[in-house]
Amino acid sequence: MSKPAEAIAAVTQPDVKAALKSSWGLLAPNKKKYGVELMCKLFSLHKDTARYFERMGKLDANNAGSNRELIGHAIYLMYAIESFVDQLDDPSIVEDIGRNFAYRHLKRGIGSKSFSVILDTLDQFLGDSLGVNYTAEVKDAWEKLVKVILALLDDEKK
């Protein structure tokens, strides 16, 4: 079994799907707020990632929330996450969405190594945003979702 297939099999297990769906249900109603917070957390923890968003002007954790282009990107990101979560019952669609996501990132020079900074960013963001609802199971589920993307980034790069 390929790495992407293994990662997709892991993220589509019933307990993992349940953890993703329940935690996403707490974030989804306010995509703009949480999307901007996630992007600000990324820039706060990994200042060098702002270079991938140069077309949006000079960004950092302090001004990202007021940049209209970045707000649009943050909302787009949240809908991309929602696409993954909504399709967890169909592994082939998860793969298709993931390959599209990977392709768009690779086109901008963001491979798995660069993208992997999202792991600690997402961990802190989810901990802050979900509070007591951020359990070990929820953390594990989100890591498994990111691992799908990392595996597909590596696979698409070949």
What is the percent of the chain with per-residue pLDDT over 70, rounded to a whole number?
Answer: 97
Is the pLDDT score of 18 beyond 90?
A: yes
* Higher pLDDT, residue 59 or 156: 156
Domains of the chain: 3-157 (1.10.490.10)
In tens, the pLDDT along 91-149 reads 999 999 999 999 999 999 999 999 999 999 999 999 999 999 999 999 999 999 999 99
Q: What is the 3-state secondary structure (H, E, C) of the chain?
A: CCHHHHHHHHHCCHHHHHHHHHHHHHHHHHHHHHHHHHHHHHHHHCHHHHHHHHHHCCCCCCCHHHCHHHHHHHHHHHHHHHHHHHCCCCHHHHHHHHHHHHHHHHHCCCCHHHHCCHHHHHHHHHHHHHHHHCCHHHHHHHHHHHHHHHHHHHHHHC
In tens, the pLDDT along 34-90 reads 999 999 899 899 988 888 888 877 766 677 778 888 899 999 999 999 999 999 999
